[in-house]
Structure 1
Amino acid sequence: MLSQPTSNPIVTVFVASEGAASERRFDKSITIERLKERLEPITGVPAATMKISLYTSTDQLVGSMDDDEKMLGYYPVEDFMRLQVTDLNPRRRRNEFSDVSQVEKFEITDAEYDKRTDSVRAFLKRNKRGKFAEQPDSPTEPERPETPPAMKPGDRCEVAPEANTEVVGQSMRKRGTVRFVGNVEFKPGFWVGVEYDEPLGKHDGSVQGVKYFSCPNKHGVLVRPERVTVGDFPEEDLFASDDEM
């Protein structure tokens, strides 16, 4: 049934047509004739051949807005209903502005395009950009042996500094006890977990949330086997002097 305008003069509706959909706000005092004029640039359907159907928010048809002299509010339109716009002209081409299949295209083979000097590809090649940019040599991880190193938890050891560390004599070697030998989750190959005698390490045996062994905090470290030397390495007394035994 038709109803009189409500107290709210502005209504928010969804406007839908073939190839277009949008949310719009209209004054309920606007006439259907004027509404069609407003909808023409939105939908691409001429006002003279336009039909407006009103649907509820649950997609139920309420009726058609056929009387151009009536106001929008004369119809039972509420917020978030849908105005479905259709073209009554059967001879008008549908999707004439959105159908790209009707557009004439310029086509060229990949081989022909590669020969052109005025193309984007030629520009990228000349300036060595994009996929044609020179790639820096990326360091590769050296191959690691598949057999575990000849050491076991409980062995006394010395850990050599990293290869790129400046060392004076043996002063940078650290002594400790092997606590773990095996594979880890953060990198491939075998690793050795060492508990240093002094707090010269990085953690308590846990790396990235995984517990590999237990030791006091800052006493633990995980290193590659080639940096570890197993042997008779007694714990050093850092406070001993040459005059004491």
Structure 2
Amino acid sequence: MADIPLHVISENSASERRVTPSWSITQLKRKLEPVTGIPPSSQRISLKTTSKETIAVEAADEDTTILSSFPLSAYAELHIIDTRPAGSKLNLNDTSGVEKYVMPPDEYEKKSDSVLAWKKAEKLGRFNPDAPSLEKAKVDAFEAEIRGRGIEVGKRCRVGGDDSRRGEIKYVGEVKEIPGSLGAWVGVHLDEPVGKNDGSIGGTRYWGTESALKHGVFVRPERVEVGEWPVLNDLEDMEEI
């Protein structure tokens, strides 16, 4: 008989395998051990047919009972249960005790099929001969934006053209805690607690003291509009009662 494809399912694995009907149950169990990690003596096998019937794959003499004795059909499910006590089972999903290989930097440098090799070939990032001048141009552009907009610590402003996000500039400069933060940022203490932080970021405090209210926000200079923006009074338009 031709081999039959079955879905082999255990606690730690699931895969499609071809099974030979002339195998004995003992042979099947031996072949399943490297697939499931369960020793033959601890395997309890059941066959779930395409009609959803579940049949135990067992016999009094498993050395001579062959698989063609069972209603095998293509893509039926073969379920393998590990009968060992929980303390005796190997946790194949736990990789905490597995020593992880880390390639030495000098060996990685020699590889021709790595991301590093590709960056070198394409002259990207630090391998771009123009990178230093491009970075300087970006920093200079931020500084020009700050000067042009009159951004200074202590001045009133609003953020992003949003009239409800008014506040006071508390910091102007680099914020290394923000990924890709080349160039200056503007730290604003908003009048209302609608910000992203309390004046600190990544464990570094740039102004104020620790607070549960988030009045702080860091934005690029082009989003800051300096002006005599008074604190909004939500009650000023209410009639007297």
Same fold (TM over 0.5): no
From the CA coordinates, give the structure whose radius of gyration is larger. 1
User: Which structure dedicates a bigger proportion of its chain to helix?
Assistant: 2
Normalising by structure 1, we get a TM-score of: 0.40
Using the size of structure 2 for normalisation, the TM-score is: 0.40
